[in-house]
Amino acid sequence: RVEPARAFLRECCLCPASLGADPVFLLEQEEAGTSSSRLGVFLRQEALERKEVLFEGLRRLQREGWDLEFVAFHRREDQEVAESFARRLRAPVRVFSKVPEVLSYFSELSGVISMRFHPLVLATQSGIPWWAFDLDPKIVAFSAHWEGKNLLSLATLEPALLCAALQGAAVLREKTRVLRDVFRQRALAAKGELAHFLGSILG
């Protein structure tokens, strides 16, 4: 999925390697509109480590006109922290039970803030800008396609930094829509290569 992984495989001569993309890019999703002010926020338990700073930053976003929605992407792991922030900020909580609900949800948003990787993929699929915290190497590698302009550090977060990051939403939206097509093509190519490989070994 990322260039360093392909380079490692080639260096070790473990097997032929090509650059693909997360298979989630093969899912069909609606493209988001541009009139919404809804911002989906996907938090993990790590949010509690900087909860006051994060709370203040999110409250400032509300004052700037963003309509926050807290989403428990992994219900058992994320619901408690999502509900905790939602109560303090008087915002709704979303919990999904079916895949179609997840896919359609992102087309209703204008942006995503996430501590999890796959909400970023789904946001990209819908062509909306996203901002993510550097809690997962996959997130850091994915953000590199945007030159790291949508990457946030939880350790050094300040409310003003969070608000400043979202000022670049329009530019990130355009970049996201370009990259979405690139990732879709990579995912389709990887699907074809996998089918060819399986055909060759299964006869």
Chain segment 7-59, per-residue pLDDT in tens: 655 566 655 555 556 666 666 666 766 668 999 999 999 999 999 999 999 99
pLDDT score for 116: 97
Domain ranges of the chain: 35-184
Question: Residue 126 in 3-state DSSP?
Answer: coil
Residue 99, SS3?
A: helix
Give the span between the Cα atoms of 55 and 44, in whole angstroms. 14
Tell which CATH architecture fits domain 35-184.
Answer: 3-Layer(aba) Sandwich (3.40)
**pTM, full prediction:** 0.82
Amino acid at residue number 143 = S
Closest CA to 71 of 26, 30, 118: 118
In tens, the pLDDT along 82-131 reads 999 999 999 999 999 888 888 889 999 999 999 999 999 999 999 999 99
∠ CA 142-28-99, rounded to 5°: 90
pLDDT of residue 4: 59
| pLDDT reported for residue 186 | 82
Write the burial class of residue 157 (CB in 10 Å: 0-12 exposed, 13-18 middle, 19+ buried).
middle
Note the pLDDT tens digit of each residue in 119-175.
999 999 999 999 999 999 999 999 999 999 999 999 999 999 999 999 999 999 999
